[in-house]
Amino acid sequence: MNPSLPINGQTQVFGIFGYPVKHTFSPHMHNAAFRQLNLNARYLPFEVNPNQIGEAVQAIRALNLKGLNVTVPHKTAVIPYLDELTPIAQCVGAVNTIRNDQGRLIGTNTDGHGFVRSLQEFGFTPQNKNILILGAGGSARSIIAALGQEHASRISLINRTQEKAEKLLEELRPMLPEVELNLGDLEQERDQNIDLLVNTTSVGMKPGESPVDLGCFLRVRRVADIIYNPRQTRLLEQATELGIACVNGIGMLLHQGCLAFEFWTGQSAPVEVMQQELLNQL
């Protein structure tokens, strides 16, 4: 791999706002990408206390930082301080990437489209597909928005707390008028042709636990779990046992980063180098 260019007066500064931010993989991925493409740039972690998020966003302009990622708990809080949101960020109502265009701050969200890109691993495109989502939190929201923008025909949502799923569907429906968005029901989904089942809940992070028994469904063609640690959750293990193609959450993590890199630099991300770096860190 290329050595990093030395830091000098022209080094461009990128980074991530989070709280906490200690465990982020993003600096590894992005600094590897800068090295690979010989860019005079660095990516740093910034631990931003939630009561100072406004000042931190103002500092992007004041310090001429070129691009930021935004992670928990700041993804919604940054919005009032930005100048513009992309359509996907408007739809999701959360921002994970900010670009500084000469003082004009543009917010986008690459989580959902990063997820969609990770499905290319098994040749899946959302257009005209029937998709079942488990969970109704922030990840589900960004994934549904991206699947909708990519013309999925039907998306059903199942969540432990049904009211949360209903509320999320109500909020998303006006923004995705061409998608049939339903509250799912395990009994009803049983006989459906499900092109893709996605776990967005945290169930599966502990060994042996699974959000659903795949044996309950007659036809599930593919499974995605956004959990990346462990790499093989019980859900993915069961999918493999049943011969169903599946992916874990590493691809989403990788591709949200690649899309952020592209949003900042206008250059194609060096995906393989970023993937290698990510796998080294996990």
Active site residues: 75
Beta carbons of 157 and 94 less than 8 angstroms apart: no
Q: How far is the CB of 159 from ligand ATR (least distance, A)?
A: 5
Closest to ligand ATR by CB, 45 vs 204, is 204
Establish if 169 lies at the interface with ligand ATR (CB under 6 A): no
* Segment near ligand ATR (CB under 6 A); pick from 6-14, 155-163, 216-224, 243-251: 155-163
Q: Which among 215, 214, 231 has a CA at the least distance from the CA of 223? A: 214
Restricted to residues 173-192, the positions that interact with ligand ATR (CB under 6 A) are none
Tokens of 116: 């969609």
Which member of 15, 67, 93, 138 binds ligand ATR (CB under 6 A)?
138
**What does the H/E/C string look like for 187-236?**
HHHCCCEECEEEECCCCCCCCCCCCCCHHHCCEECEEEECCCCCCCCHHH
Q: How far is the CB of 263 from ligand ATR (least distance, A)?
A: 21
Establish if 230 lies at the interface with ligand ATR (CB under 6 A): no
Closest to ligand ATR by CB, 105 vs 133, is 133
Which member of 135, 204, 249, 257 binds ligand ATR (CB under 6 A)?
135
Q: How far is the CB of 208 from ligand ATR (least distance, A)?
A: 13
What is the enclosing helix (H) or strand (E) of 36?
helix 26-36
Provide the β-strand partners of residue 46. 17
Tell me the Ramachandran region of residue 252: left when phi exceeds 0, alpha when psi lies from -120 to 50, beta otherwise: alpha
Establish if 164 lies at the interface with ligand ATR (CB under 6 A): yes
What is the enclosing helix (H) or strand (E) of 106?
strand 104-108
How many CA atoms does the CB half-sphere of 57 hold within 13 Å?
Answer: 24
Which member of 69, 130, 139, 248 binds ligand ATR (CB under 6 A)?
139
Binding site for ligand ATR (CB under 6 A): 135-140, 159-161, 164, 200-203
